[in-house]
């Protein structure tokens, strides 16, 4: 069954509770300030990334490393609201081969076509909740180009950017608010069937 394409910008949040606290953890690649923001916001995180989606991003970044490439992809999931608080969930990611070099990743029209083909292979309705890309060896931050991309394509409140450095093994999440980059507190969560030792 082909996935239903939800429009890029429009996503009215659905009413649903966030993952339970017992199934949320920090990320092993978090920088100190991400660990800090996780600790402070653990009960009210605005971004949850499912463990398998997180693994895909990390593996993608590591695979790019062996080819000395930056990699990038879209984060798919949903935007939700519960007891007056909004949050986004990343359930999966899609990637495509893009023209990439160690210093930049470009969004190409052809790249987008490839991404949308991959989207058609998914079997759930999705909303694009952001994008991720890697910064091999240069650490996590939002470059001017990254900020322009975020501003042009991921400027909704539920949109986030994740940057991974597979060399330093670091990860940070961001959002844009009134044109300024802010750290986005996030957590990794898992579904019960993914965790045979709990629940
Ligand atoms: Zn970047």
* Ligand 1 centroid, distance to 57 Cα (angstroms): 15
Centre of ligand 1 from the C-alpha of residue 104, in Å: 7
Specify the pTM.
0.83
Q: What is the pLDDT of residue 191?
A: 82
70 CA from centroid of ligand 1 (Å): 9
Considering the four listed CATH numbers 2.40.110.10, 1.10.10.10, 3.40.50.2000, 3.40.140.10, the one that applies to the domain covering 45-189 is 3.40.140.10
Question: Is residue 20 a contact partner of residue 160, using CB atoms and an 8 Å limit?
Answer: no
Task: Please give the distance, rounded to the nearest whole angstrom, from the Cα atom of residue 33 to the centre of ligand 1.
Answer: 18
Distance 35 CA to ligand 1 centre (A): 21
Q: How confident is the model at residue 101 (pLDDT cuts 50, 70, 90)?
A: very low
**Residues sharing a CB contact under 8 Å with residue 84, sequence separation 6 or more, in sequence order:** none
Q: Provide mean pLDDT across the span 143-147.
A: 91
Distance 16 CA to ligand 1 centre (A): 32
Q: Helix and strand tally (H, E) in the chain?
A: 4, 10
Q: What are the strands, taking DSSP E only, across the chain? A: 14-15, 24-25, 47-50, 72-82, 85-95, 127-134, 160-165, 170-177, 180-183, 186-189
Q: Could you give the CA distance from residue 105 to residue 100 in angstroms, rounded to a whole number?
A: 5
SS3 19: coil
And the tokens for 188?
């990794």
The answer on pLDDT for 107 being more than 70 is: no
Burial tier of 26 (Cβ tally within 10 Å: 0-12, 13-18, 19+): middle
Residue 136 CA to ligand 1 centre (angstroms)? 10
- What's the pLDDT score for residue 104? 47
pLDDT above 50 (res 84): yes
Q: Is the pLDDT of residue 199 over 50?
A: no
């Amino acid at each position: 069954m082909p996935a239903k394409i939800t429009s890029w910008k429009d996503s009215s949040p659905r009413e649903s509770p966030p993952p339970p606290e017992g199934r949320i953890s920090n990320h092993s690649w978090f920088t100190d300030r991400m660990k800090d923001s996780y600790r402070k916001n653990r009960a009210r995180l605005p971004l949850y990334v499912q463990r398998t989606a997180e693994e895909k991003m990390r593996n993608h970044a590591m695979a790019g490393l062996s080819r000395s490439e930056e990699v990038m992809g879209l984060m798919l999931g949903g935007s939700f609201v519960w007891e007056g608080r909004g949050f986004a969930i990343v359930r999966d990611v899609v990637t495509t081969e893009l023209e990439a070099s160690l210093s930049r990743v470009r969004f190409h029209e052809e790249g987008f076509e490839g991404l949308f083909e991959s989207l058609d292979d998914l079997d759930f309705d999705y909303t694009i909740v952001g994008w991720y890309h890697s910064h091999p060896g240069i650490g996590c931050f939002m470059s001017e180009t990254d900020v322009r991309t975020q501003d042009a394509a991921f400027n909704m409140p539920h949109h986030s950017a994740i940057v991974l450095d597979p060399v330093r093994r670091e990860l940070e999440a961001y959002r844009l608010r009134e044109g300024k980059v802010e750290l986005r507190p996030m957590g990794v969560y898992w579904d019960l069937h993914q965790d045979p030792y709990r629940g």
